[in-house]
Structure 1
Amino acid sequence: MRTQVAIIGAGPSGLLLGQLLAKHGIDNVILERQTGEYVLGRIRAGVIEKGAADLLDEAGCGTRMHREGLIHDGIEISFGGARHRINFKQLIGKSVIVYGQTEITRDLMDGRSAIGSQTIYEAEDVSLHDIGTDKPKVRYSKGGQVHEIECDFIAGCDGFHGVSRKSIPTDVLKNFERVYPFGWLGILVDKPPVSDELIYANHDRGFALCSMRSPTRSRLYIQCRLDDKVEDWSDEAFYEELKRRLDDEAIKRLQPGPSIEKSIAPLRSFVAEPMRHGRLFLAGDAAHIVPPTGAKGLNLAASDVYYLWQALVDFYKKKSSAGIDAYSARALSRVWKAERFSWWMTSQLHRFPESSGFDQKIQRSELEYLVSSQAAMTALAENYVGLPY
């Protein structure tokens, strides 16, 4: 098989890149190790920056997001038993959209199906070859047979555990990582949200977050130990601990219900440099991970896709390699800014096991400064709604 761009991974970043390239007449094939049903079953982020929303529109897949997504003009920060609103619209004139990653993936899958572009699911033993040449290849197994795709470029959109990053020589790749000493225990429940906007809560017992996926479906989180097990947390125990960390008004509005999904996510910050080696480009979680506190994971993948899509269009339409040569540096510049913001949000809102009384006083002082300073709130708003591409 021959194509112009082979895309590894059928998550949102791979599907979005494929859709954008196809709209500009650039042939591409997507390989995915899992089934389509498995991909749709992943429960992930739900806060969409304007830049990511604009890209979905450009890809022709944003109609349902605008119809069903929830426009949020701010967030609330809770500490000391009181909530403080950060008004994005007032501070910087921008908003975010709450719309689940599962729904974005579904919209992109439907869009790809509508234009007839090829996605190969259950592709096993994927391996990348000759990425340092101008004729890279991808091999995979399906149905007991080995197949090969010849291409001009490979886009590695296959996540943290995928084959793409592992295909870059170890003497070329540098990894930067911080693993946090806690996780998030989250549940999905068919009950109305606690608040019209997200509540980020700092409490002596640990962090909590009240989020949502729709007007009738809530996503709720509490900070937990890394060695906690999901089966050790009943729904009743989760709600009791969540209530301990919320303000009185939030507790009144909380409607407990049976969880329809429950999981524990460890938190880490991770960046791999460079994001390009030869004809292989990394995008999304294949290149970087952020703690979910700043709502940047899916949005960073979208900005990677933006830079890579533009670079490949310039290569094929303008015969210019400037974009692909600059891709890694451009993407990493924005990645590190988002890493900084996600680290800052995580540092200010969580209870660290090793923190001293001094550390806790500094954390509280930082939060008090944040909600009393228009400059500080503006900086948070600018980063939360998304820095420009």
Structure 2
Amino acid sequence: MGVSSEVITAAANSPETARDGFGLYVHIPFCVSRCGYCDFNTYTASELGAGVSRETYASIVRAEIRAAAARFTQRSGVNDEHRDSPPRVDTVFFGGGTPTLLPAGDLAAILAEIDAAFGLARGAEVTTEANPESVDADYLAELFDGGFTRLSVGMQSTSSHVLKILDREHSPAKALAAVEYAHKAGFEHVSLDLIYGTPGETEADFAASLAAAIDSGVDHVSAYALIVEDGTQLARRIRAGTVPQPSDDVAADRYLAAEAALSAAGFSWYEVSNWARSDEARCRHNLLYWEGGHWWGAGPGAHSHLPGVRWWNHKHPSTYATALAQDIPLAGYETLTEDDRYLEQVMLRTRLSGGLPVTLLRTNGEAAAQRAADDGLAVIEAGRLQLTLRGRLLADAVVRDLTA
């Protein structure tokens, strides 16, 4: 066992691991085509190389899940502590890529492997992302019967010309049909993802997208400003001058429009970019991330976090599969310092509606918290710093000041 492997095994056996819940993320790296704005670790069929295919992927990632579970009962050279059994899994999230490019039976088989290897906690939340064009009524019914409890649909917009700029494959009607299929299948919790600030999107376009999301009956909406990532097709088009650069002022206006429409419809924000109709509708898996919980990430490029350590798998599916045949497919890891933990805790908890306990802040941070309150960017109530609406627009700046 190498040093890095010993570190991960020791972290897995830490008593902290399941103290605040434990999650499992499964990365499905397949896409039919690459969206122009996307820089995620995804691959079309021609980019996969040897050793991995859609047909073989479920069996490969199931092998990593079994290897992961073994880490929680294995002794390491770092200490002699070990568990009698791995922690039960409170949340599972299938992301991508497009998880729903795999057959529903394959996703259910991966979930069954998680239950067999770790055990799903009673009432576990199990989410998959879905592109609208990749699901139908039968597919979602099979997913629900296989144990999935939550669906997150990438609608992005109901405007055809906006979807074209984003290189999305689906029509506006497809996303709304996917929501209807999910409700008929029995899914109580369904989320729609929106992107705002796309070049060419008008105020009316975004208003229509918000209205469609609200009227669809979903109980959760995520809305994200378009970010132009280096190396993407969209970035190249902007550099070439064929598409204008997104406007920060427009993005701020769109965010205010989202807050107004969603709050009027009974949604409440619980994280800067996420709104839910009820506490039960909040994404528990994402809250696990934001509240400093622990998780194992399975699949190519997936990141994991256990007490004091973060690591990541090999990115390319072929390299990942080759490494997995020898051990866990570890590409690298970092040991988190106290400063690392502090920065992440402040950055993530500040974005939550529940706010950041002021007692967690260092001396400079306490002074910065008071400045944020004096400037109308936050309020301090019951010992917690909570962002105002204006503060949510400037959340990154608030965090920078708190951690300076």
Same fold (TM over 0.5): no
TM-score of the two chains, using structure 1 as the length reference = 0.27
Give the strand-richer structure, 1 or 2: 1
Structure number with the bigger relative contact order (C-alpha 8 A, sep ≥ 6) is: 1
TM-score of the two chains, using structure 2 as the length reference = 0.27
